[in-house]
Amino acid sequence: MKISTVKGTNDYLPKEAALRDYLMDQILKTYQSCGFQRIMTPVIEDIENLDKSEGGENLNLIFKILKRGDKLEKALEAKDEKELSDMGLRYDLTLPLSRYYASNKDKLLAPFKCIQIDRVYRAERPQKGRLREFYQCDIDIIGTTSLTAEVELIITTAQALKNIGIGEFKIKINNRKLLKAILTTAGFAAEELDSVCISIDKLDKIGLDGVKNELAGKGYAATSIEKLAEVLSTKPFTLSKAAEICPEEESLKEIQFILDSVKAVNSELEIDYDITLIRGQGYYTGTVFEVESTKFRGAIAGGGRYDNLIGKFLNDSVPAVGFSIGFERIFGILTDIGYQIPDRKQQLAVIYDEKDFLAAMETAKNFRETYNVALYVKPKKTGKFIDRLEEQGYDGFFIYGQSEEVQLIGNK
């Protein structure tokens, strides 16, 4: 039997689990304070739903669940790989939410403002920052085309990030409609736009020359590639420059409204238009946004509008927009810098001899007005045990029958 976790998954020690609980609690409280309501959905979804969800490259990362019994035997006999599975693990929380809303819409408020904080699964190649099992912390607004939904999500997410102490960050927004209008003006055909966007999304990793080479390798016209390269190399590429290329594009006003509204609500937030912001999921239809840590670099939250996904279940258009906090990224950052949970109740160990158990229980009960208290039978090597307590995040100890007062560990 193996004692190590499956690659891409983690065990968490008590101190780590406490930090994770704290972060999730702060995020949840912030979301709830802004009027969002929590829902829960299964981790398992019908494979047909997952395959048709327009999840971009995530569709290649679905953990599929084999059929069982006679159904599996028949699939094996048919030698048809597509028939081997009928279910899969969710790769994000948006597809399950879309199915949930389609199933329960008559019981929900309109618009529906919801919270999901739960596990998702992707068959990633495990590496630092990429897990196969991880948490997402989502808020979504379903049932309105109003851009006030985008503003509300941005403001709420920014507040949650401030409440968990991640430090300074900046918000970037774009709009799929504007981006595609610019690409069309450059000469790309409608059926080429999604593929071009996938290449642009790699700009930070492979640079402008890398994007150009990739597009050339896909067989796109050299003139279109050069026009796009000219746009991408313009620093900064402002909204006014975009307006010069596509003056009639309605999404210009949508972006400007969001920028102005966010600044009006909270002038301290740094928010800007970024033409290179893509977001990988294919289901995004309009606004996309992302939060980038100023100090630690990299995205710590992202989302966008997906007005067509729920309609796949209902055969009717249902507008929707969502924002997701990158929980694992933030947990990793705060762990690396030795983040301490603020205003946390101190952890105390009451150490006792077996014969003094009942009296020690009474002592622990009294201490619990001030501390979180655990009871431990006195070991033979008390000093080593106290060292282990410190490793596990304990703040102090009290040896019943020996100590006169609580002794703090490491001068805390």
**Domain locations in the chain?**
14-167+295-336, 347-408
User: Taking every pair of C-alpha atoms in the chain, what is the biggest distance, in angstroms?
Assistant: 87
> What local confidence, expressed as pLDDT, does residue 292 receive?
95
> What local confidence, expressed as pLDDT, does residue 412 receive?
43
Residues of 247-280 as b/e, b for ≥16 C-beta within 10 angstroms?
Answer: eebebbebbeebbebbeeeeeebebebbbebbbe
DSSP state of 402: T
> What local confidence, expressed as pLDDT, does residue 295 receive?
86
Distance separating alpha carbons of residues 151 and 256, to the nearest angstrom = 11
Q: Which CATH superfamily is domain 14-167+295-336 in?
A: Bira Bifunctional Protein; Domain 2 (3.30.930.10)
> What local confidence, expressed as pLDDT, does residue 70 receive?
84
Phi, psi of 325 (to 5 degrees): -85, 135
Q: Which residues contact 168 (CB under 8 A, 6 or more apart)?
A: 270, 293, 294, 295
Place of tokens 């410190």: 390
pLDDT tens over the chain, length 412 residues:
999 999 999 999 988 999 999 999 999 999 999 999 999 999 999 999 998 887 777 788 899 988 888 888 887 877 777 788 889 999 999 999 999 999 999 999 999 999 999 999 999 888 777 899 999 999 999 999 999 999 999 999 999 999 998 989 999 999 999 999 999 999 998 888 888 888 888 888 899 999 999 999 999 999 999 999 999 988 889 999 999 999 999 999 999 999 999 999 999 999 999 999 988 777 889 999 999 998 888 899 999 999 999 999 998 889 999 999 999 999 999 999 989 899 889 999 999 999 999 999 999 999 999 999 999 999 989 999 999 999 888 999 999 999 889 999 865 4
> What local confidence, expressed as pLDDT, does residue 387 receive?
92
Cα angle vertex 328, ends 323, 332, to 5°? 135
Distance separating alpha carbons of residues 325 and 297, to the nearest angstrom = 15
Q: Give yes or no for a contact between 313 and 46, defined as CB atoms under 8 angstroms apart.
A: no
pTM for the structure as a whole: 0.89
Number of Cβ within a 10 Å radius of residue 146 = 13
Residues of 102-140 as b/e, b for ≥16 C-beta within 10 angstroms?
Answer: beebeebeebbbbbbbbebbbbbeeeeeebbbbbbbbbb
The residue type of 251 is S
DSSP state of 130: B
